[in-house]
Structure 1
């Protein structure tokens, strides 16, 4: 049997609720639709539809198969579109994962223009600082801030991300300005839970000097904006991306400390699965981020790490 045509008839039947309506939609006869459903059930070895004189309803097996069938048909449509019209005009659903603070502070401001350029694209955006499993969560593109992306992913470097060490003027007036990273061991610190180095902060200078300090944070949190707010209120020293603290630095609510020392080079990456073809919809999204946030490499460059 033609399994694809059978799935199309079945998903249409699940939505319409009658053989007559499906036949009208597909331009065929009710007998032909009935034969397709019967052939699909025979192929699967399971009854998918309860048939009565008054109504149709899905069996438990039918309800389970419907979800899979709809996804298969959607994937097939996307695959066909990748070499057709949508290769020029991307369409469909794009699933994106991004850090919470970045999504609110930066990405949200970029999306209106992206939507104007690609009105046929629908976006499903997951804002979370946790590192998602792209395959398990069905993510097309994940935005990550790191010194290096995961080794099992394809990554496109979008822009450098400065990491700033700072604290509130009132806190520094009371506790003093640290003159060396080692001084932070005696300070109140507020630490980002997902920092790759944990509670050992390793600083470097442009001249190549290195200093590692083990801090004892009074607060751990999985979100940078929460830590920023605590720091503004005098809670201690934080190390955060510039886009989180820049407004407070400009307004004087926070002051940079140890300006000659940095936590190293961080960058914004767009990552996607190495085992999957990069779809047109994902490619235009990544290209747009590079355009909007400052291209540091040619658009064709990609780092496989």
Structure 2
């Protein structure tokens, strides 16, 4: 009976979503994975997984055990790499979560370059604008932009996300250009729905006074790229990060407005689960991202 293999099988099932996918990940048959998980449940005397025809999910006992199991495997992996660091290449799986637009535009290429430097590393990348639960879903780290809600996570600042307000030239020719945030009440706004209305339309004057705008919202979306495309099509005014809007500004598809009124910048962070030894591959990846992005990111050049 291989206790380590049983634990590894359970983690693979949770992170892969099915017994078949876990088998492919570990290079064994689906039946082997099923047997190992069953052996683990029998040895513990507790059911760890709810099995239905549609999906697998952890029981309460399974969730607690899974969190400890992920930590055990991470600690073992880090210990092995620590012993052999001088003679062996970096290896293992990086499970990373990131916002969709940032992931597609900037993180994906960063990952590619990192993998070229470390060919034995594997990546499991989840691009989604929701805030994943790092512990329950087994992520090594997540990239988050903006105010961090969960104070228990360990955060490392990677860089700065600057915000701009813009619209297409066609929209401005039809409706005029707002010169003050109060003018936005006569305009159509495109709203990012994952933050509040108040946060999205907040401006700061040169003397530090905060102003709130009140445009009429026509489109709400939980993805900034979708709002950028709507703005290019002349649907309204959008305000968002330069890592999305910068290329449209450089191409002349959008035009900055309200340049005398600053949008508060946002931090770009790498967050890792609390109370866990961070594997060497995760530490090095975070260092790589920090040097790649920084407070003067490449996407802000020539803006």
- Cα distance, 1:77 vs structure 2: 3.8
- Cα distance, 1:139 vs structure 2: 1.1
2:16 is aligned to none
Give the structure-2-normalised TM-score. Answer: 0.73
Is the contact between residue 149 and residue 155 of structure 1 (CA under 8 Å) also seen in structure 2? no
- Cα distance, 1:256 vs structure 2: 0.4
What CA deviation, in whole Å up to 9, does each residue of 1:41-69 have, x standing for no partner?
985569xxxxxxxxxxxxxxxxx9xx979
Q: For 1:233-248, what aligned pairs fall within 5 Å after superposition?
A: 233-248=233-248
Task: Rate the CA distance shift 1:183–1:45 in 2: closer, same or farther, 3 A.
Answer: closer
Is 1:131 the counterpart of 2:131? The answer is yes
Report SS of the residue matched to 1:217: strand
- Cα distance, 1:257 vs structure 2: 0.7
What CA deviation, in whole Å up to 9, does each residue of 1:241-269 have, x standing for no partner?
10211121112110001012122121211
C-alpha separation in 1, matches of 2:232 and 2:42: 67
- Cα distance, 1:109 vs structure 2: 1.9
What CA deviation, in whole Å up to 9, does each residue of 1:100-135 have, x standing for no partner?
111111112222220111111110000011111111
Is the contact between residue 90 and residue 281 of structure 1 (CA under 8 Å) also seen in structure 2? yes
Task: Rate the CA distance shift 1:135–1:43 in 2: closer, same or farther, 3 A.
Answer: closer
For structure 1, the 5+ residue unaligned runs are: 19-38, 47-63, 297-305
1:260 is aligned to 260
C-alpha separation in 1, matches of 2:42 and 2:245: 62
- Cα distance, 1:295 vs structure 2: 6.2
2:173 is aligned to 173
2:80 is aligned to 81
Give the structure-1-normalised TM-score. Answer: 0.72
For structure 2, the 5+ residue unaligned runs are: 11-22, 32-38, 47-61, 297-303
Cα RMSD (Å): 3.6
Q: How many residues align?
A: 256
Q: For 1:269-288, what aligned pairs fall within 5 Å after superposition?
A: 269-288=269-288
Report SS of the residue matched to 1:164: strand
2:222 is aligned to 222
Is the contact between residue 200 and residue 212 of structure 1 (CA under 8 Å) also seen in structure 2? no
C-alpha separation in 1, matches of 2:41 and 2:271: 40
